[in-house]
Amino acid sequence: MRLITTEKSADIYFFTTQTVCFVLFTLEILATTVVVDDFKYSFFFYLDIIATLSLINDIPFMLNLLLVLLDIRPDYESVNAIPGVMHTESATSGKIT
């Protein structure tokens, strides 16, 4: 992930911030469930869970862990490209070789 105003080296700070937010949101859901009687299984309970889980897509190490647990290969592992090698399309086959 690269923002226009930052360098690639700043990604660790964004991921750390997002991880802290994920943990705090999870703790907030747990605390609210214990303290507020009508919160558990309400509309806002599920809304908070969905919003908190949506952060997993933005945090690479959490997404990779989830993909490993689900036995899914990440997209970057299935790419069959060799850096510096140009692949061309053949006129007869119509496919990139």
pTM for the model stands at: 0.69
pLDDT given at position 92 = 54
pLDDT for 16 beyond 70: yes
pLDDT at 6: 80
Helix residue ranges per DSSP H, 1-97: 11-35, 43-53, 60-69
Tokens describing residue 32: 């609210």
What backbone torsions phi and psi does residue 80 show, to the nearest 5 degrees? Answer: -110, 70
At residue 89 the predicted structure's pLDDT band, cuts being 50, 70 and 90, is low
Beta bridge partners of 89: 96
